Amino acid sequence: MRRDDRHQLGRIPIGRAAIDLSHSLTVTPQSRRAHLDLTSRGVTAEVKDIPGWVNAFAQDGTFTDMSTGVTYRGETLGDVVEIYGTAFSDMHRELHRFYPSNDVVVVQLALQGTQDGPLTLPTGTIPATGRRMDAPCCDVFELVDGKIKRFDCYPSGTVIMSQLGVLDSA
């Protein structure tokens, strides 16, 4: 896929459910097939719709930030939106490629934003650095009955911490 085509994608089959990524992340059921619905807004971190985000998940759905090892479920699913929304008020997810297979979708992307607020992690809080990140990431979605059953997010923690100046580059 050419870089200019990534926001021009219409629908990509992914099984029996569909993710409508036009606002934050919402999942809608389809009759026989699922489609990844991408609009020009893509997966937006800019829209901090916490109730919409939580509602996109199945009752037992989980979001795991693989860089920290923290899994969110139920009402705590909104915590991840608040944590990163506070740290990066201009957070953006630059979508690159999509790999659908039945009820699983893998997305290659970059996490972008300026850390203008505190970033709260299990190891402590990083005060605002004013530095910009543009870090590679891979997301894996498992969909069941039109909802997200599992969302595993694999951001490059080393790249993020280096770009924020937390890790020495030497």
The DSSP result for the chain, as a single string, is --GGGTTT--EEEEEEEEEETTSS-EEEEEEEEEEEE--TT-S-SSS--HHHHHHTEEEEEEEEETTTTEEEEGGGHHHHHHHHHHH-TT-EEEEEEEEEETTEEEEEEEEEEE--S-EEETTEEEPP---EEEEEEEEEEEEETTEEEEEEEEE-HHHHHHHTTSS---
Per-residue model confidence (pLDDT) at position 169: 62
91-128 residue pLDDT tens: 988 889 988 888 899 999 999 999 999 999 999 999 99
Per-residue model confidence (pLDDT) at position 157: 93
30-71 residue pLDDT tens: 322 333 433 222 334 556 778 888 888 999 999 999 999 999
* pTM exceeds 0.95, yes or no: no
Domain residue extents for the chain: 57-163
- Write the CATH number of the domain with boundaries 57-163: 3.10.450.50
Average pLDDT, the chain: 76
Per-residue model confidence (pLDDT) at position 19: 45
3-38 burial string, b = 16+ CB within 10 Å, else e? eeebeeeeebebbbbbbbbbbbbbbeebeeebbbbb
135-153 residue pLDDT tens: 999 999 999 988 899 999 9
